[in-house]
Structure 1
Amino acid sequence: MSQLRLAIAGLGTVGTGLIQITDEDRFSDMLQVISVSARSRDRERDVDISRFEWFDDPVAMASADGTDVFIELMGGEDGVAKAAIEAALHAGKHVVTANKALIAKHGLALARLAEEKGVALRFEAAVAGGVPVIRGLRDGLSGSKVTKLQGVLNGTCNFILAAMEEGRTYDDTLAEAQRIGFAEADPSFDVDGIDAAQKLAILGALAFGAMPSLDQIAPKGISTVSPEDLAAAKTLGLRMKLVAVLRRDGQGLAARVAPALVPLTSALDIGGGGENIVVADSDPLGRVAFSGPGAGRGPTAAACVADLVTISRGSTGPVFARPTGTIDQSPDVSPDAEPVPHFLRFEVEDVPGVLASLADILAKENISVETIRQSPADNGASRVEVVITTHEAPTAALLEAARHAESLDHVLSRPSVYPILREDT
């Protein structure tokens, strides 16, 4: 095991956390930081960077002599992050990155370059933070054929949905998430499902040998979820999560990133913080789950160190568990239409015939009702809540039924429709 000389670009919380770990005695013979680069040299940090060579230009640092591994922690799917990684690979250096956006967009091209140069490109921290799901799919499940992935991959959405379950509004909860640093000033990357979709694309390359694009996944976010939806679901033993799904579907793949309800006993019900989970169904192994802290300084920095340890042991590739040339860069991907149970919530006038009208609409779409519950009118008010759960049906059929129901005179708002993902789905 040889000592690796490191160049780190990006000295935010993860970069400084990485330096702190490499300073520990257990890594003194394995990892040595040589050079660093960041936007500001003079910014106050909780590590001493004066002992390292400073570069104003991370691209120049990436190709400079004297280091073995370039570590990219700047972020961004293009620009300087991409240019620096390319420079490092062309210079024959190994690369470690936590940049999911870049790997999702350019990962295959960068992997091809790494394989041509005979160096490693590692990105364990790009998906699920400190959870070793990349390593698990690349190595642990290499003897099995993955048939389906399900995951809760975004801690910001976890936090917001958990707070809303207590009755708080989406806007109030999002503002708090921004205040405490759980969400960015522009939260769309997280709450619109883009972050989860990028992570799912990376997992797809590892699990299925195919990397879908963001457009093919077409993520849906959580901004339309209401506290009333969550409260009604909780009475049924269900909890809302932003769930990412990718599975084999004939000759192609089926994808879904959207809010879904899971039983309180489900592996996907992982609480309301930064926990992430990926559940993989495979043959002949069966179902395997990877869970743990999905973000934050310590978990992300630890994942980067794990990649460095792997490189120090002489492991380089292939980057996505198989030669990059065999990975489908434009796979056939369809929306996940697998029939599953569904949850519907209506706000209606409390008049005779409403339930019959709703049941008739569902019947016309060949949707079978499992349970139906109407809340009592509050203090004589005419507005009541109707909650229906169904047997297995395609989501498209439920959305069509909801569209017809919304046009009824006594339906007072747009119906809520969410799939229910039980352990056997």
Structure 2
Amino acid sequence: MSSAARFDRGHTDDLMSFLAAGPSPYHAVAEAAARLEKVGFRQAAETDAWDGTTGGKFVLRGGAIVAWYVPEGAEPHTPFRIVGAHTDSPNLRVKPLPDAGNEGWRQVAVEVYGGTLLNTWLDRDLGLAGRLTLRDGSHRLVNIDRALLRVPQLAVHLDRSVNEGMKLDKQRHMQPIWGLGEVHEGDLIAYVAQEAGVDAEDVTGWDLMPHAIEPPSYLGRDEELLAGPRMDNLISVHAGVAALAAVASGDAELPYIPVLAAFDHEESGSQSDTGADGPLLGNVLERSVFARGGSYEDKARAVAGTICLSSDTGHAVHPNYAERHDPTHHPRANGGPILKVNVNQRYATDGAGRAVFAAACEKAGVAWQTFVSNNSMPCGTTIGPITSARHGIQTVDIGVAILSMHSARELCGADDPYLLANALTAFLEG
């Protein structure tokens, strides 16, 4: 079976389930791990000694996962083929002292995470998800997937100029309500602990975030579009999991060791122990080489031959703001994955990387597009330049073109997720 025929519209159906199952980075990596375990991958604890056996393994750390598959006959110096992505999305995060209120309304104190479009969180029914840390150091995932919170907007009668330009103060205007009455310290965590089935006295830490509860859905007369939360960047995580599982389950001889590296904290700069600017990926690659009897020289040889596709969402041309895009680069929905280029290294792509991506798409039978920012607009960035600079790995920035990036609910072409997965599969196959 060719890569081009491996994934179809059923992949997009499955993506909708993945988006719904990943209201936090911790849930997203748990779902990714469960899917890999179904095809024979097993977890490798970082505190254990690793062996050099063939097969699929993965490491979980917080909201990050690194998974790899060692094929039969792999040498210690065998290079890696890496799909890079990130699990976090811009949103609101619960503060250490969460119980707040004003004028008889009970509220939850939140902090703004990443470059979120604040207005998209207004007047939206929100659940609450994340993890609780217990007194014994263990973690408990929790997902309250019902209308629990709401950030209410000020009525137009009290702000007649709102449609001429709305300015939201992150501290004063973004605190959600969740009830009426007096504020009591500990109420929120006690409620979340009850929902998680644990004793509130055992909860000593938490990483919690509101999420929109409206499920992903097809959109349009012909259902050729897909709307949903956290597409940036769970589209890429889901495609990477599917591609890695496909090559690990296939019968093709793999000249490389395929890897999925999905990091946390990309939206806040990647500087954490679970971010792309941390040591996680480098440690895993090095330990994989050493576990197979390799030396530092073998590791250097393996890294020198390694290539990474950094997969993250990019901007589809916006019909109402076409002038904000580069005049000659207009990525379109359902036009295939995009190659992201910036000569100032906000993206890591160069001409050699373009050739790698073009070859993968050609093998998969997938059309592809190019994204370049308008020279008058600042360009965003990804884990691509970080991966390239930190590890000395040739890296190519790619992704799926979407609208409403960093909104609580984003939009893409319904075909593009499976086209991306096909391209990633062809890339991992080598």
TM-score range for the pair, normalised by the shorter chain length: under 0.3
The higher radius of gyration belongs to 1
TM-score by length of 1: 0.22
TM-score by length of 2: 0.21
* Greater relative CO (CA pairs within 8 A, separation 6+): 2
- Greater fraction helix: 1
